[in-house]
Structure 1
Amino acid sequence: MVLGDFVATAGQQSLGKYLAIDCEMVGVGDEGAESSLARVSLVNYHGVVLLDEFVKQRERVIDYRTQFSGIRASDMVKAKPFDEIHRRVSELIKDKVLIGHAVHHDLKALLLSHPRSHIRDTQLLANKFKVVRSKYVALRNLVKQELKVTIQSGEHSSVTDARAAMAIYRLHSKEWEKGTLD
């Protein structure tokens, strides 16, 4: 499940061992060149949204990067303080296996660390499996090739991107967990 909404069964709604994360950024600072965390989404193994929050900005937003981030000024009305989001994400991912695409960027934006042994980065998976020829493959290209689904054709959604990373992980999880990708 990557695109759209779905009704999850009671069993699919649990937190579980595996969580996928994605963040969206806006531009702050001179000419909006500096990235600032603006939205965080976490989904469980089944793609059920566990957290999807906008993050209140400490600086004036120069560029919402809407064509990529999907974020608009109106989204910031319901934004929560960074410290609250940081705490909630930290609590949710504790002792979990964290899946994401270039997940180090998301962790950096959240000022969090996570044990390397508990990270499954789909960008690295793509390289190890020779799924694509480039070391740094875009998530949309990996999803198109592996799942035959088109994402990010317009504005991005951190929920869709987290679900996509989880779907890629599920597709290759047996090989990954056997240690053939370490």
Structure 2
Amino acid sequence: MKRPVTNFRTPWSGIRRHHLHNAVPFAQAREEIVALLEGKVVVGHSVYNDFEVLNLDHPGHMVRDTSSARLLSRLAGFPRGRCLSLKLLASKLLSRTIQVRAGRRGHCSVEDAQAALDLYKLVEGEWEQEMERRLRDDEDDGSAPHEPGHSSSDHYMQDEFWPDEVLADAL
């Protein structure tokens, strides 16, 4: 069902009314995103919000959400269970200032994605070991099968949809 956008949430999304004039229809965009994400590990910050908007149920063992990562929270010295902002984590753990130009223009999605990936890389080995342990425990008690974890995050940057300058910076 097609519904009008009532709040563009520009300070976070960067989207304004004129961006939707020739936009890909939601159903088509969702279909393309579902196809793109199939079988892939998704690394991001608060990605559950994106999944909810897309009405997408990506397998939990294929999501690395830095907003709820206990490993990052512990590394940053914050109390357990606290959901941390990407801006705060990037500042504390990466010594990087992000989202400073956000204001009325909104966050830069590429800057946010790079920060989330770099945060993930800080604890990648431990995170993947924990995921493998959880998945083995789930298999032992009859839970759904899973795909194997990845030992290196290099493959996350090999995506045709990343801008060339982002890929160049990653190499």
- Provide the TM-score with structure 2 as the length reference: 0.64
1:106 matched to 2:50? The reply is yes
Match of 2:143 in 1: none
Greater percentage in helix? 2
- Kindly provide the CA deviation profile for residues 55-92 of structure 1, in whole angstroms up to 9, marking residues without a partner as x: xx943344433333222222112311111111111111
Structure 1 residues 64 and 104, CA gap change in structure 2 (3 angstroms)? closer
Q: Return the offset for 1:122.
A: 0.4
Match of 2:3 in 1: 59
Match of 1:71, SS? Answer: coil
Match of 1:179, SS? Answer: helix
**How many angstroms apart in 2 are the aligned matches of 1:146 and 1:120?**
17
**How many angstroms apart in 1 are the aligned matches of 2:94 and 2:2?**
38
| Cα pair 2:71 2:123 within 8 Å, conserved | no
**How many angstroms apart in 2 are the aligned matches of 1:58 and 1:162?**
29
Give the number of aligned pairs. Answer: 126
- Kindly provide the CA deviation profile for residues 148-180 of structure 1, in whole angstroms up to 9, marking residues without a partner as x: 111112221222222221111122111111117
Greater relative contact order: 1 or 2 (C-alpha under 8 angstroms, separation 6 or more)? 1
Match of 2:119 in 1: 168
CA RMSD of aligned residues (A): 2.4
Match of 1:125 in 2: 69
1:159 matched to 2:104? The reply is no
| Cα pair 1:102 1:121 within 8 Å, conserved | yes
Structure 1 residues 79 and 132, CA gap change in structure 2 (3 angstroms)? farther
Match of 2:58, SS? Answer: coil
**How many angstroms apart in 2 are the aligned matches of 1:178 and 1:100?**
19
| Cα pair 1:102 1:122 within 8 Å, conserved | yes
Max radius of gyration: which structure? 2
- Kindly provide the CA deviation profile for residues 99-147 of structure 1, in whole angstroms up to 9, marking residues without a partner as x: 1112211111111011111111101225664125251111111111111
Structure 1 residues 125 and 149, CA gap change in structure 2 (3 angstroms)? same
Match of 1:137, SS? Answer: coil
Greater percentage in strand? 1
Match of 2:40 in 1: 96
Unaligned runs of at least 5 residues, structure 1: 1-56
| Cα pair 1:126 1:137 within 8 Å, conserved | no
After the TM superposition, which of the residue ranges 108-117 and 127-136 deviates more from structure 2?
A: 127-136
Match of 2:83 in 1: 136
**How many angstroms apart in 1 are the aligned matches of 2:8 and 2:77?**
31
Instruction: State the one-letter code of the partner of 1:159.
Output: V
